[in-house]
Amino acid sequence: MSLHQASGRWKFGLVLALVTAGCWATLPVALKLTLEQLDPITLTWFRFLLAAGVMLAWLAARGGLGGFAKLDRKRWVLLAVAGLCLIGNYVFYLLGVQHTSPANAQLLIQLAPLLMALGGIVVFRERFNAWQWAGLAVILGGLGLFFREQLAASPAGAGGQAYVYGSALVIVAAVVWAAYALVQKQLLMRLSSPAILLFIYLLASGVLLPFAHPSALLALDGLHWGLLLFCALNTLVAYGAFAEALAHWEASRVSAILATTPLLCLGAVAAVHAVWPTAIAPEAVGVVGYVGAGLVVLGSALTSLMGQRRNAG
């Protein structure tokens, strides 16, 4: 079977990978600020609704809606499961960001692709080599160092409990995203990725509507409307840039760039705080925390690069 080959336009691929990393790094900050005037469910519902509209228009223009007619009952069930898992990911992550810091949420969500990889070993009988297992250990060690320092710096009592609670919610978000990704991988045998996402976006818009408060959108000021639109378009831009980056650059190189997202998120928080000190609190990260974040980046790159090297052989 022939394998996909990158176009060789590595500079363009690098730019697209950086766009993806930038979107993912700034999303927690934008979500945190938007939550000042909007509840988590309404925010999530609006993000799904806008994504559904854009994806529907795009697929309709390209004639990509025909695959649904060929699905059997089992695939429809899998689609529903994937939809519920992605809904859970959005909601739990947003609730986690509400109770913890943006950088901590972005670091902990790095568990999602790792859990997906471990799920691939169990479900699809994929394999990790020794370097990839070492990368996984480095990531877990880095997360432990970062979280331990942040927990120690958290205020005693309710503040510290909120931080732990928010972190636990982000971990749940990572777990359900991994489940979604594994189900989607199976569905790709019958549907394209955009078609799967369209169904999920439409399902999520309907499921969350009874719990959302659309009238709250009317009370938003101009700044928070801008933040809301940024949050809604962020995922579409990020995943579009990500898919296009893979067309022009090797997957291992793209993944290595994306591994820097937690550090970019720390930079985004610092930049917003410098420009707008009252908007968001600075991240209280010391030497141990930065070492932990660096280990997460190193472990993510190691797992990706060494996995690609093994597969290439």
For the stretch 200-226, pLDDT in tens is 899 999 999 999 999 999 999 999 999
Q: Is residue 2 part of a domain?
A: no
Q: What pLDDT was estimated at residue 4?
A: 43
Contact 42, 216 (CB under 8 A): yes
Domain that holds residue 48: 10-312
CA distance 26 to 102: 9
Q: What pLDDT was estimated at residue 30?
A: 93
- What SS3 state is found at 155? coil
Q: What pLDDT was estimated at residue 2?
A: 46
Q: Is residue 161 part of a domain?
A: yes
Q: Is residue 55 part of a domain?
A: yes
Q: What pLDDT was estimated at residue 5?
A: 55
Q: Is residue 4 part of a domain?
A: no
Q: Give the alpha-carbon dihedral of 241, 242, 248, 250, to 10 degrees.
A: 160
Q: Is residue 3 part of a domain?
A: no
Q: 125 — alpha (psi -120 to 50), left (phi > 0) or beta? A: left
Q: Is residue 293 part of a domain?
A: yes
Q: Is residue 1 part of a domain?
A: no
Q: What pLDDT was estimated at residue 252?
A: 57
Distance from the Cα of residue 127 to its chain's centroid: 24
Q: Is residue 5 part of a domain?
A: no
Q: What pLDDT was estimated at residue 126?
A: 67
Query: In the chain, how many domains are there?
Result: 1
* Regions of the chain where pLDDT drops below 70: 1-8, 124, 126, 154-159, 243, 246, 250-253, 255-256, 304-305, 307-313
Nearest residue to 46 via CA among 208, 175, 171, 271: 208
Q: What pLDDT was estimated at residue 266?
A: 85
pTM attached to this predicted model: 0.81
